[in-house]
Structure 1
Amino acid sequence: MTAAQAERVSALLKAMADSVRLQLLSLVASHEGGEACVCDLTEAFELSQPTISHHLKVLHQSGLLERSKRGVWVYYKVQAEVLDSLGKLISSAGA
């Protein structure tokens, strides 16, 4: 693993190093159509909508989620290729 790859993996792992964020990734990935609105996710947590939005923002900024705005709602979708790349980098580092 190169230094640049290690930096990228580190940033992704930092973004995922929170139980709420891991749950959000899982919920978005398993949601119908593979994408979810913030309004679909808040019920699963005893957290405010702004807190959920903050966690989603962290995941988006790290590249783990993509987002699109539709009217007043923002929809999130897991960047599967980023997760695949992360898994491959981690597994190749142990080889």
Structure 2
Amino acid sequence: MQLKHFNLQFGSQIFKSFSEEARVRIMFLLFNENELSISDIEHVLDFTQTKTSRHITYLKHAGLLNARKKDQWVFYQIKDEVMGMVSQIFKYLNKDQQLQKDLEILKVLHSNRELSINKKPLQY
């Protein structure tokens, strides 16, 4: 789905959202992973829960994120309507060292989860 009613006010909200490095890092993780919980984001970025929540709330109010609740977890994803614009922004930032480092940390986090899930109990 594409934006139907793009206007100056919404464009300003998007650019303001991308004016803060922490929010760019969050958006990059979501862009590459599709969906993450707040605890995943705080682990990767090494932010406090408060700081992460504040930035997520800002991005939601700017109209960039959706939230999906499953049990006690809330998962965030970039809205389909803005994905095209976000994709264009990350074409230029794709090779940034900090953003690539964040992705590497996320891969390790997923890898550790897989190991934990598939871990066989020790037999004595």
Q: Larger % of strand: which?
A: 1
| Larger Rg, first or second structure (1 or 2) | 2
Distance, in Å, in 2 between the alignment partners of 1:28 and 1:75 is 10
Find the residue that maps to 2:77 and give its secondary structure: strand
Render the CA deviation track for 1:28-56: whole Å, top value 9, x for unaligned. 1212xx10111111112232011101101
Instruction: Name structure 1 gaps, 5 residues minimum.
Output: 89-95
Give the total of aligned pairs: 83
Structure 2-normalised TM-score?
0.59
Q: Which amino acid aligns with 2:50?
A: P
Report the equivalent of 2:7: 5
Shift of 1:80: 3.5
> 1:49-68 counterparts in 2 under 5 A?
49-68=49-68
Q: Which amino acid aligns with 1:51?
A: K
Which stretch shifts more, 21-30 or 39-48? 39-48
Percent identity (aligned): 23
Report the equivalent of 2:69: 69
Structure 1-normalised TM-score?
0.75
Distance, in Å, in 2 between the alignment partners of 1:52 and 1:65 is 14
After superposition, the CA RMSD in angstroms is: 2.1
Q: Which amino acid aligns with 2:39?
A: C
Report the equivalent of 2:27: 25
Distance 1:27 1:86, change over 3 A: closer
Distance, in Å, in 1 between the alignment partners of 2:87 and 2:44 is 27
